[in-house]
Amino acid sequence: MIKDINGTPIEQALKEDGYVIVDDLIPKDMFPKLVDACDRAVARARDGDWKYRRLVGTQFPPWTEGTDVWGVQHLMHQDLKEPVFAQWYGSPLLQEAVCQLLGTDVQGLQLELFNLLINPRDSDFDLTWHRDSVPAETEEEKEKEFLKIEHYGTQWNTALYEDSCLYVVPKSHRRVRTPQERDITINDAKSNNMPNLLCVVLQPGQTVFYDSNILHRAAYSSKSKRATLHACMGTIDGGHHRASNIFQHGLDWMSEPQFKESLPESLKVPYANTLSMAEKAGLQKLEAAPIH
């Protein structure tokens, strides 16, 4: 059983607090390889050689305008030619943690997103307070309905350098917003005055798993180097529930034979499960309209 930095089983901490910090999910021999691969991917994105990137000024996909980069998309893409990313995404300890959180086994996992969050070079960039799948303007009764829906997946950030970019409101993932929270998320969405906010500080090699419904935002400083692995996996228990949220990022490149050939054996079944999800959702391509 994997426990968090306080000795609590990770699934218990995530359920209670909406986030959980875990040590050492990157094998020691893989850590420098990931650092080097990230440096190369960042250089390509900043040079414009890698078109799958998140651009300052836009929080959610699609990212079509701007030049300053705050994220690198699709780290497992066959054309990036950095196999260490898929090797880590399919590594035993990481998969064990995800399976423990989701109450499943590797056969029940879905291969989903794997991106990189970095520091912009030209200017600081702030994301707004949000829940990933619930628009800020959602009325209270509808918000209650959204919060009852199972995720059938989990997401995480794994830091390669010290990272203090993520802010959360602990325990906000299972309740509707208070009037003050609602006002901030709609009218002052980059506010530093959110009640009970917590800055999540990660040391190199630490991972934070967090509920996508927790109230959270991020502040990207151009002054501190950041390379934080940002990924998610799902479970087949959700059928096609996660399809729109995942495929809005444009994953049709995953349908290429070269992508399947590039995967380690541990990801072959999760990949097949992802294709099955797209089929159940009635998608002709591994793409969907943006949510936000």
Write down the pLDDT at residue 282: 87
Q: Which helix (H) or strand (E) holds 275?
A: helix 268-280
Give the pLDDT band (50/70/90) at residue 64. Answer: confident
Higher pLDDT, 133 or 119: 119
Contact 274, 240 (CB under 8 A): no
Q: How far from the centroid of its chain's Cα atoms is residue 281's Cα? A: 21
Rounded Cα distance between 160 and 224, Å, is 12
Count H helices and E strands in the chain, helices first.
9, 11
Higher pLDDT, 243 or 195: 195
Classified as helix, coil or strand, 135 is coil
* Residue 199 CA neighbour count, 13 Å, CB half: 10
pLDDT value at residue 288: 67
Q: Do residues 34 and 25 touch, judged by C-beta distance below 8 A?
A: no
pLDDT of residue 210: 97
Rounded to 10 deg, the angle between the 92-102 and 10-17 helix axes is: 50
**Residue 128 to residue 135: CA distance in whole angstroms:** 11
Lowest average pLDDT, out of 169-173, 267-271, 274-278, goes to 274-278
The pLDDT of residue 204 is 98
Rounded to an integer, what distance in angstroms lies between the CA atom of residue 225 and that of residue 162?
9
Say if residue 225's pLDDT is above 70.
yes
Q: What's residue 251's pLDDT?
A: 87
Angle at the Cα of 277 from the Cα atoms of 273 and 280, rounded to 5 degrees: 135
Residue type, 101: L
Cα dihedral 41, 43, 49, 54 in deg (nearest 10):
70
In this prediction the pTM is: 0.94
pLDDT score at 51: 93
- Residue 147's alpha-carbon distances to 64, 150, 176, in angstroms, are 31, 8, 8
Q: What pLDDT was estimated at residue 291?
A: 58
- Lowest mean pLDDT of 4-8, 12-16, 147-151, 183-187, name the range: 147-151
In the predicted model, is pLDDT for residue 68 greater than 60? yes
Residue 34 pLDDT > 90? yes
For residue 228, the cross-strand partners are 117, 159
Reported confidence tier of residue 259, pLDDT bands at 50, 70, 90:
very high
Distance CA 288, CA 177 (A): 28
